[in-house]
Structure 1
Amino acid sequence: MSMNYIHEVKLPAGDLQVYAGAKLFQSLDYKIFEMANNNLQIPNIQFMSYTPDVHVGVGTCIGTTAVWSCEDGYVSPSIVGSDIGCGMRVQLTNLHSRDLQDVNVRRKLVRAIEKLLPMESHPRGHFSDIRLEHVVTKGLHGLPGKYIPDSYTPKRSTSLTHVESSRFAFDESVLSTMPEQAIHRAHRQLGTLGGGNHFVEIQAIEIAESQRSIAEAWGLYDGQIAVMIHSGSRAWGAAVNQQCTEPMRRTMGQLGLGTADPKLVFAPLDHPDGERYVNLMYSALNYAVVNRHLIGYAVREAFRSVLGTGCEMRTLYDLMHNYAWEERTRGGRVFVHRKGATRALPPGHPDNPKPYMATGHPALIPGSMGTSSYLMVGRPQGEDNYYSICHGAGRIRSRSATKQLVSVQEFERALKVGSADEIVVNQRSLASIIDESPQAYKNVDDIIESVTGAGLADVVAQCKPLAAVKGAR
């Protein structure tokens, strides 16, 4: 571990840890330090850090870990992020990359996924056998059995076990405060992808030789086809934010709380506004994990429609990178916020789910369109950063700046359009998603090097992109 990757920045309101290689650290925008200083003014904050993919967000940077004691702590919707429970899911197949060598097979798969997976909302009546109140209160356990395709083979079942959490318990009485309209809208968006940086990507796995034993324990092999899914809590999370932010802002005025940034909203954990937000946030975490599961269900059906029923698909892992919850550390009970940060636990950590207790769980890190993604595993010294690592490549320029600076031709070259190795994309016009081109993001390999260099996690496998499905903005 090199100290070149860990920087302690002393700001007027407190100390900030930044995990980044020298080149990335020097390229950071001064605004992220302004935002950190505002965050550090929230009372009783115990710790704050940035991951190497950090970039400016609303109220708080994406790439933030912020920690309070549960005894006198605060909760902030701004440090959770607007897409509550947004996260990653990876599903493993029994296919090899040679099965998808033909670009036409990849095109068929993309078309089949598009047919079965709506980007924005389902027609009325779809999923009529799924009740939204069951989803938001019971998580994956609220789904009818037919949507858990491996429920008949418990020994091989992964849907309920290979997840960060299959159900978040909370005080369900808060649901009565949510408007009826939000419930209908959220039901129609269940199992939909959304736009922006959300995606379904078909990838080929390449195992890191130094971690082959962990990779094999996870069921990975070289050339294996995997599917990576990135989505969150859709309309339900947005409604939770809408319902909680204004009352919390008024409470801040009454309590004399605030910073230089009016968009940074927070409340004490033991205040009714703080309690209400935490409970509703957990309902959105339940929604988010079910949403990714149902996207995975649609993708599995699409694969089987193109490649036959011999095509198997199981869950490697599902985890979040926008949330806040209680964790136990050597210092006792703490309330940890992660906004655009992924938890990466080492082998033996008691919070690992049972199947991953011996190895540590897979930390799922997407790249950008046209670049590799990574499967990582936490290291013991990650405890210094509350086991937080990056959540992706991290934007280097805004959507509007990307549209001005990047040409469709440059985007096509990044996707190898027209070659046998083309990364097939569902959008008919690349111009519609140019703000998601690789040129909009930092170099993911620099991000990963910062994480490994700081001793937070190791690479278990690299995932090379073969095809991607995205919603237009």
Structure 2
Amino acid sequence: MIEQFYRQVQLPSGVVHVYAGEDLFKSLDYKVFEMANNNLQIPNQVYMSYTPDVHVGVGTCIGTTAVWNTSGGYVSPSIVGSDIGCGMRVHLTNLHKDELKDVKLRRKLVKAIEKYLPIEDHARGHFSDIRLEHVVKKGLHGLPKKYIPDGYTPRKATSLTHVERSKFHLDEEALDLFPEQVWHRSHRQLGTLGNGNHFVEIQSVEIAEERREIAGKWGMFDGQAAVMIHSGSRAWGGSVSQYCGSLLAKMMRAEGLGTADPKLLFAPLEHPLARKYVNLMYSALNYAVVNRHLIAYAVREAGKDVFGHKFEMTTLYDLMHNYAWEEEHEGQSFFVHRKGATRALPPGHPDNPEPYVETGHPALIPGSMGTASYIMVGAPGGRDNFYSICHGAGRIRSRSATKKLVTLNEFSSSLKVGTDEEIVVNQKSLESILDESPQAYKDVDQIIDSVVGAGLAHVVAKCKPMATVKGA
């Protein structure tokens, strides 16, 4: 059965392991294998794989896991991605979907969220009292106490415990490399969404019958309203990518390193530039987890405005899908890259955060606008893929192609506009976000079926969209 969802593809430079059902595999662009062949030319690589949502990116495909031994290993900004630390967060509320069945109420909630959450690309966040240097050095532990509201009620506290990692340690001297304007722009963007495929979505939960026990331990119930957030490290991560990418490109030319793709950047881990990049990358991971936390804080404030002070919004989990770091597998140290790939650990794995050691942690997989998202849990079979699964649906066409091929009527229909089940969107014109329509993406159900069929993870819940906030 698993063989239907897994293939080893032999390329001139090595083997790429592909996790995808037959239809998804046959639909893959030949360019993804060209990129894999280039990636496999980076020295000393021990493993590379694609998840079923794989699609072409810059230098490396989105949907890639690439692994080196920590000793003698390499780091590649191209296999991390430009939006360092981009990832997902889900909060559980004490509302039932029936309390949101009124379309006008959903619109009111979306409007309230916009009051607290700036959506314009150059908007200033509402958190000028937060010190950016504390954020990039300490992650969530660098926030003032008032932004960790559940810290005063330890039994309910989930802000610092229900996250993949609350703080990434780094050599702080690397931060001195950035000019003042980078600090200023990044500080302005704290707690902002960004555009493209980033979003805040209000969803209703449907528990998978065979995972009902785990869902209950996680505090989930059928019909529960949940908040899903997708965002990353904004200007800070972009500056890390741009600055380090330029330096690494010059170094590679000087030392004769490279592949057929000049955009594929890499360096030995022991190289001084690689060490600079890794430290700055960790600072961007700190920024990213704080940014998603502050977006959730803004949504929480909006929820209290609309539903009163009894409204609750506890953290289910926060994780990344663009990063590289050191992991231990079978007693050996590896440096693992995930670009558009999500870590999904099974029950009992020691790397699970304390609250999730028994059950395994939630793996958060967004769909596309108008389609369901999924909350999963890792399976033991994931060890074969370094516990990596998909990170979303995965694009099947570019933004420009989507605008040419998809009509506004088709997009409107997918959002059920004009019905009681309308997925309320904050944009005044759907035309402005047409490139994010479901027709631009693969079928997320096929993606999830491939992950489950390959024995990498199980579905715990399906989350259906009720309202979406997109950046402008």
Fold agreement, TM-score > 0.5 = yes
1:84 and 1:288 in contact (8 A); partners too: yes
Please name the residue that 2:253 is paired with. 253
Please name the residue that 1:405 is paired with. 405
**1:164-201: per-residue Cα shift (whole Å, max 9, x none)?**
00000010000001111000000000000000000000
Looking at structure 1, the residues matched to 315 and 194 of structure 2 have their Cα atoms a distance apart, in angstroms, of 21
2:124 and 2:189 in contact (8 A); partners too: no
Matched, 1:158 2:167: no
2:74 and 2:268 in contact (8 A); partners too: yes
3-state SS in 2 of match to 1:52? strand
1:425 and 1:470 in contact (8 A); partners too: yes
Looking at structure 2, the residues matched to 239 and 30 of structure 1 have their Cα atoms a distance apart, in angstroms, of 31
3-state SS in 2 of match to 1:154? coil
Deviation at 1:275? 0.3
Looking at structure 2, the residues matched to 11 and 220 of structure 1 have their Cα atoms a distance apart, in angstroms, of 44
* TM-score normalised by structure 2 residue count: 0.99
Please name the residue that 1:460 is paired with. 460
Looking at structure 2, the residues matched to 18 and 65 of structure 1 have their Cα atoms a distance apart, in angstroms, of 10
Please name the residue that 1:282 is paired with. 282
1:402 and 1:435 in contact (8 A); partners too: yes
2:317 and 2:362 in contact (8 A); partners too: yes
Please name the residue that 1:323 is paired with. 323
1:75 and 1:269 in contact (8 A); partners too: yes
How is 1:214-363 mapped onto 2 (pairs within 5 angstroms)? 214-330=214-330, 332-363=332-363
Looking at structure 1, the residues matched to 241 and 363 of structure 2 have their Cα atoms a distance apart, in angstroms, of 27
Please name the residue that 2:74 is paired with. 74
Looking at structure 1, the residues matched to 241 and 16 of structure 2 have their Cα atoms a distance apart, in angstroms, of 27
Looking at structure 1, the residues matched to 75 and 424 of structure 2 have their Cα atoms a distance apart, in angstroms, of 41
1:121 and 1:190 in contact (8 A); partners too: no
1:84 and 1:237 in contact (8 A); partners too: yes
Looking at structure 2, the residues matched to 127 and 341 of structure 1 have their Cα atoms a distance apart, in angstroms, of 30
Looking at structure 2, the residues matched to 395 and 250 of structure 1 have their Cα atoms a distance apart, in angstroms, of 32
Deviation at 1:254? 2.5
1:49 and 1:385 in contact (8 A); partners too: yes
Looking at structure 2, the residues matched to 19 and 455 of structure 1 have their Cα atoms a distance apart, in angstroms, of 10
Deviation at 1:243? 1.1
Please name the residue that 1:11 is paired with. 11
Deviation at 1:247? 1.0
3-state SS in 2 of match to 1:151? helix
Please name the residue that 1:63 is paired with. 63
Matched, 1:46 2:46: yes
3-state SS in 2 of match to 1:155? coil
Matched, 1:445 2:432: no
Deviation at 1:128? 2.7
Cα 1:451–1:280 shift into 2, 3 Å: same
Looking at structure 2, the residues matched to 408 and 130 of structure 1 have their Cα atoms a distance apart, in angstroms, of 41
Matched, 1:109 2:98: no
**1:123-174: per-residue Cα shift (whole Å, max 9, x none)?**
48x4232100000000000000000010110111000000000000010000
Deviation at 1:121? 4.4
Looking at structure 2, the residues matched to 368 and 127 of structure 1 have their Cα atoms a distance apart, in angstroms, of 29
**1:357-405: per-residue Cα shift (whole Å, max 9, x none)?**
0000000000000000000000011000000000000001000000000
1:82 and 1:238 in contact (8 A); partners too: yes
1:121 and 1:192 in contact (8 A); partners too: no
Deviation at 1:38? 0.2
2:132 and 2:187 in contact (8 A); partners too: yes
Looking at structure 1, the residues matched to 2 and 354 of structure 2 have their Cα atoms a distance apart, in angstroms, of 32
Looking at structure 2, the residues matched to 298 and 401 of structure 1 have their Cα atoms a distance apart, in angstroms, of 34
**1:437-464: per-residue Cα shift (whole Å, max 9, x none)?**
0000000000000000000000000001
Please name the residue that 1:388 is paired with. 388
Deviates more, 1:318-327 or 1:250-259: 250-259
Deviation at 1:308? 0.8
Deviates more, 1:223-232 or 1:250-259: 250-259
Deviation at 1:251? 1.2
1:191 and 1:295 in contact (8 A); partners too: yes
2:170 and 2:279 in contact (8 A); partners too: yes
Looking at structure 2, the residues matched to 243 and 82 of structure 1 have their Cα atoms a distance apart, in angstroms, of 11
Please name the residue that 2:98 is paired with. 98
Deviation at 1:122? 4.5
3-state SS in 1 of match to 2:270? coil
**1:321-358: per-residue Cα shift (whole Å, max 9, x none)?**
00000000116100000000000000000000000000
Matched, 1:128 2:128: yes
Looking at structure 2, the residues matched to 127 and 41 of structure 1 have their Cα atoms a distance apart, in angstroms, of 44
Please name the residue that 2:182 is paired with. 182
Deviation at 1:255? 2.3
Please name the residue that 1:433 is paired with. 433
Looking at structure 2, the residues matched to 448 and 76 of structure 1 have their Cα atoms a distance apart, in angstroms, of 28
What is the letter of the counterpart of residue 261 of structure 1?
A: D
Looking at structure 1, the residues matched to 402 and 91 of structure 2 have their Cα atoms a distance apart, in angstroms, of 31
What is the letter of the counterpart of residue 364 of structure 1?
A: L
Deviates more, 1:279-288 or 1:107-116: 107-116
What is the letter of the counterpart of residue 168 of structure 1?
A: F
**1:258-299: per-residue Cα shift (whole Å, max 9, x none)?**
000000011110000100000000000000000000000000
Looking at structure 1, the residues matched to 5 and 368 of structure 2 have their Cα atoms a distance apart, in angstroms, of 22
3-state SS in 2 of match to 1:458? strand
3-state SS in 2 of match to 1:194? coil
3-state SS in 1 of match to 2:301? helix
Matched, 1:416 2:416: yes
Looking at structure 1, the residues matched to 60 and 461 of structure 2 have their Cα atoms a distance apart, in angstroms, of 31
What is the letter of the counterpart of residue 406 of structure 2?
A: V
Looking at structure 2, the residues matched to 274 and 263 of structure 1 have their Cα atoms a distance apart, in angstroms, of 16
2:118 and 2:124 in contact (8 A); partners too: no
**1:66-109: per-residue Cα shift (whole Å, max 9, x none)?**
00011001101100000000000000000000000100110000
**Unpaired segments ≥5 residues, structure 2:** none
